[in-house]
């Protein structure tokens, strides 16, 4: 059984005290760390004491923008149970797409059939995006800390761009200048149409 927040916090306090800071990681040695260490330096935040979990958007399906379609996500592909959407505007990485269930449920709530279908679509989508020219790799992420409705992120990163790698590629997504809109839309269209050769239908 994993540790509780209290148990983890107790170990932190035992190590560095209630207001103490954990040791600074060697960011100056991290090739992919996207911030420069300057005079003021960087340091870890103080670990805060355990508290209640924040309520998520669309908790229990109430006011869920994914269910109502009132959010800013743009639908580009769907089948009976799944939909593929993209943010309203391009960002620094070549493509950022969301694969979401149509039903309101959380990731651990998938039954075996839905999970199997998720697995297939996820791999198709990752492969299709990875095969786009100049895409180095596609990072597949499920966090679920913001919205309760099942959604998985697919981040395509540019190949041969030193440092824009791994989890830090997500930081670069917000720092690099946005991809030209016509290029971005053409790539989204290509992915949706290619995915439709496996299942579902493209809407662009």
How many Å from the N-terminal Cα to the C-terminal Cα in the chain? 46
* By CB under 5 A, residue 104 contacts Zn ion: yes
What's 44's DSSP letter? P
Residue of the chain from 149, 151, 157, 194 that contacts Zn ion (CB under 5 A) = 149
* By CB under 5 A, residue 176 contacts Zn ion: no
What are the structure tokens assigned to 65, written together? 């923008």
Closest by Cα among 42, 41, 50 to 18: 50
Contact string (CB under 5 A) for Zn ion, positions 20-59, x = contact: --------------------------------------x-
Number of residues near Zn ion (by CB under 5 A): 6
Kindly tell me which of 86 and 149 has the beta carbon lying closer to Zn ion: 149
Determine phi and psi for 76, rounding to 5 degrees.
Answer: -125, -15
Structural contact between residues 118 and 67, judged by C-beta atoms closer than 8 angstroms: no
Residue of the chain from 13, 16, 67, 203 that contacts Zn ion (CB under 5 A) = 67
Choose the stretch contacting Zn ion; rule: CB under 5 A; options: 94-102, 136-144, 148-156, 193-201. Answer: 148-156
* CA–CA distance, 87 with 25 (Å, rounded to integer): 33
* By CB under 5 A, residue 64 contacts Zn ion: yes
Q: Which residue has the tokens 């239908």?
A: 201
Give the side-chain half-sphere CA count within 13 A for 27: 13
* By CB under 5 A, residue 100 contacts Zn ion: no
* By CB under 5 A, residue 66 contacts Zn ion: yes
Site for Zn ion, rule CB under 5 A: 58, 64, 66-67, 104, 149
């Amino acid at each position: 059984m994993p540790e509780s927040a209290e148990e983890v916090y107790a170990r932190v306090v035992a190590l560095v005290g209630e207001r103490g800071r954990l040791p600074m990681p060697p960011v100056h040695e991290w090739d992919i760390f996207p911030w420069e260490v300057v005079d003021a330096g960087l340091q870890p935040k103080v670990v805060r004491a355990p508290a209640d979990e924040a309520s998520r958007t669309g908790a229990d399906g109430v006011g869920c923008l994914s269910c109502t379609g009132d959010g800013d996500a743009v639908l580009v592909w769907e089948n009976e149970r799944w939909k593929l959407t993209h943010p309203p505007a391009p960002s620094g990485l070549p493509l950022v797409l969301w694969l979401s269930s149509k039903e309101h449920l959380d990731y651990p709530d998938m039954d075996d059939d839905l999970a199997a279908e998720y697995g297939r679509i996820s791999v198709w989508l990752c492969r299709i995006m990875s095969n786009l020219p100049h895409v180095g790799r596609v990072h597949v992420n499920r966090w679920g800390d913001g919205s309760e409705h099942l959604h998985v992120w697919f981040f395509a990163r540019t190949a041969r761009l030193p440092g824009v790698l791994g989890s830090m590629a997500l930081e670069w997504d917000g720092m690099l200048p946005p991809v030209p809109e016509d290029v971005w839309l053409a790539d989204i269209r290509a992915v949706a149409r290619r995915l439709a050769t496996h299942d579902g239908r493209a809407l662009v």
